[in-house]
Amino acid sequence: MLRFLTYLIFILSVAFSSAGIILSSRLRNKYQAETFSPLLYFEVFIYTFGFYGIWGQVVIRSFLSPLLSPQVLARLSDIAMLLGLPFLIFAWLMLIRFSMNLSGRKAGGWTVAWFLLFNFSVLVAMGYYVTGKNRINPSLVIRYYYIAMNLVYFFIASYNIHLPWKGRSLIHDYDRKIIAPTLFLIMIVQCVPLHFYTNQAWVAILFIFGFFLGNTFLPVWFTYGTLQPALASGR
């Protein structure tokens, strides 16, 4: 039953990620490309992390556990997660940029360098405080790093959208009142199962489902739910 459910969630993950990327691409082509390009990049980066960093671990543990020792298996799992980490960081950056675009704020040219420096500094500091003087456990460090930074960046995105810069919001008030709290709710749905996860398969499945489904919200909303943003000067 659990294996069947895992296959089903994987199929749904592919469907959600494909839908998010396709809809984001259509939005960029339909509306102002400079506004919706970060949304497309967010979808691409976040789902690349999802398959490398999340499903990569599932595949490694499911298919290689009978062939490899627990130590080698743990190393491969950590490598899969670390390969996906840069995509996660750039996805958060694109989410912040997209929220700034919608709110009428402009990001400076220094944003990328400072953003990367901040994230890797937090990751190193968290690695020290989580593991202390013990051997660093990359999966544990990245799990708490994901929870903390996901909370921070989704909160910032919600804040940007809910409180536009001096009335320069590019979307309708109705959209702002829906998008901002929903983003915060998505963050909670993604972080809570991960916080309580130890080795329970059903918690992992719940997290994966919430991750892939939640990240389709923005392109789905702007495609089917919006009252048409003010920037919709169709091309």
Question: Do the beta carbons of residue 53 and residue 214 sit within 8 Å?
Answer: no
**Which tokens is 47 given?**
């789902």
Q: What is the pLDDT along the chain (235 residues), one digit of tens a residue?
A: 778 888 899 999 999 999 999 999 999 998 877 889 999 999 999 999 999 888 888 887 777 777 777 777 777 777 778 788 889 999 999 999 999 888 887 766 557 777 888 888 887 777 666 555 556 667 778 888 899 999 999 999 999 998 887 767 788 888 888 999 999 999 999 999 888 887 788 888 999 999 999 999 999 999 988 766 555 444 4
Q: How far apart are alpha carbons 216 and 18 in whole angstroms?
A: 9
CA atoms within 13 A of residue 129's CA, in its CB half-sphere: 8
Q: What pLDDT, on the 0 to 100 scale, is given for residue 235?
A: 42
How many Cβ atoms are within 10 Å of 228's Cβ, its own excluded? 12
Q: How far apart are alpha carbons 131 and 137 in whole angstroms?
A: 7
Domain ranges of the chain: 2-225
Q: What pLDDT, on the 0 to 100 scale, is given for residue 182?
A: 95
Question: Do the beta carbons of residue 229 and residue 171 sit within 8 Å?
Answer: yes
Q: What pLDDT, on the 0 to 100 scale, is given for residue 228?
A: 62
Q: What pLDDT, on the 0 to 100 scale, is given for residue 60?
A: 79
Sign, CA dihedral 47-159-150-147, equals: negative
**Which tokens is 213 given?**
């489904």
Q: What pLDDT, on the 0 to 100 scale, is given for residue 232?
A: 46
Question: Do the beta carbons of residue 93 and residue 68 sit within 8 Å?
Answer: no
Question: Do the beta carbons of residue 57 and residue 90 sit within 8 Å?
Answer: no
Residues 6+ apart with CB under 8 A from 215: 16, 20, 42, 43, 46, 47, 50, 186
pTM of the model: 0.87
Output the DSSP codes for 151-183: HHHHHHHHHHHHS-GGG--SS-HHHHHHHHHHH
Question: Do the beta carbons of residue 93 and residue 42 sit within 8 Å?
Answer: no
Query: Rg of the chain's alpha carbons, rounded to an integer?
Result: 19
Q: What pLDDT, on the 0 to 100 scale, is given for residue 136?
A: 61
Single out the residue of 160, 150, 22, 30 nearest to residue 99, CA to CA.
160
